[in-house]
Amino acid sequence: MPWSLEHINWLSVTNTVHTVDGKDIPILEFNPQLTETSMMSDWAKHFRNHYCFDDEIDRLREGTGLSRTEFLKQLKLPTDARGFGPAIRSGDFAEILVSDYLEYCLDFVVPRTRYGNKTIRDESTKGSDIIGFKLFDGNKTPRDILATLEVKAQFSGNNCDPRLQDAIDDSLKDEIRKAESLSAMKQRLLDKGKMATAQLVQRFQNPTDLPYTQKYGAAALFCSTVFDEATIQDTDASGHPFKENLFLVTIKADDFMNLVHQLYNLAADEA
């Protein structure tokens, strides 16, 4: 299997604060142990396969004259210095880590289809940042859950920006783009022959005839040098039309951007 969950053990809840309108904001700290080489390698493989499955690399690089590492660094993975590359790296990394949190901590199924079909690697993929599913049972009941999440990151700067507020505000768009995001997700799964997961997505495409519970999420990730609890507590979710079904989370870590570059490099070098 390309996927790994051991790195999620480096994530721990340190505190819970509240928005000005009283919603819980769990504050999580991510503390990866870079010297644990086996776990880092597993995490890098997990990360790499979001962009290109290991069993596809040789077919995709054929004709380019590039090694696996060169193919990933030159054609697939966001760049580390050019233009928008670093911002796309941090954004993709944040979305993948929150996807792991949603799947491995909150027990949702999160199909990983967002990054592999990028036409331009230094651009963000359109649509909802993260979509996850949770079935109550096999009977397609209204207790089944679809969750859409918006994710923002700040890994540099001198002051804490209101990134959680930005994620809440952007999550308002998820109801509009949900149908298109689900359709694109199912198409990519069908293209990969992932029929069972495509059927799971399909269960949530017709809420009129097959109602379900809709959840919304907003997440913000910060480097510890800019994280400010007071700024987080200034967040206001009262304007969200579905605030009763909205959940929030923040994640902080030391030197997040350096970690991002290390992980991308490891993912390419160990392909």
- Axis crossing angle, helix 256-269 with helix 37-48, rounded to the nearest 10: 80
- Check residue 204 and give its pLDDT: 98
- Check residue 184 and give its pLDDT: 95
pLDDT in tens, 227-258: 999 999 999 999 999 999 999 999 999 999 99
Do residues 190 and 184 touch, judged by C-beta distance below 8 A?
no
Q: For residues 18-23, give the mean pLDDT.
A: 96
In a domain, 132, yes or no: yes
What gap in Å lies between CA 131 and CA 151, rounded to an integer? 11
In a domain, 117, yes or no: yes
In a domain, 161, yes or no: yes
Tally of domains in the chain: 1
What gap in Å lies between CA 121 and CA 134, rounded to an integer? 30
What gap in Å lies between CA 176 and CA 106, rounded to an integer? 25
- Note down the domain range covering 180: 6-269
| Confidence at 84, pLDDT banded by 50, 70, 90 | confident
pLDDT in tens, 172-203: 888 889 999 999 999 999 999 999 999 999 99
What gap in Å lies between CA 201 and CA 163, rounded to an integer? 29
The CB density around residue 237, as the number of other CB atoms within 10 Å, is 24
Q: For residues 96-122, give the mean pLDDT.
A: 95
Give kind and range of the element (H or E) at residue 18: strand 11-18
Residue 1 clears pLDDT 80, i.e. is over it: no
- Check residue 118 and give its pLDDT: 87
- Check residue 175 and give its pLDDT: 85
pLDDT in tens, 131-164: 999 999 989 999 999 999 999 999 999 999 999 9
- Check residue 262 and give its pLDDT: 95
Q: What is the residue-averaged pLDDT of the chain?
A: 95
In a domain, 250, yes or no: yes
In a domain, 181, yes or no: yes
Beta-carbon contacts of residue 223 (< 8 Å; ≥ 6 apart) = 154, 155, 156, 252, 253, 254, 255, 256, 257
In a domain, 1, yes or no: no
- Check residue 81 and give its pLDDT: 79
Q: For residues 16-21, give the mean pLDDT.
A: 97
In a domain, 140, yes or no: yes
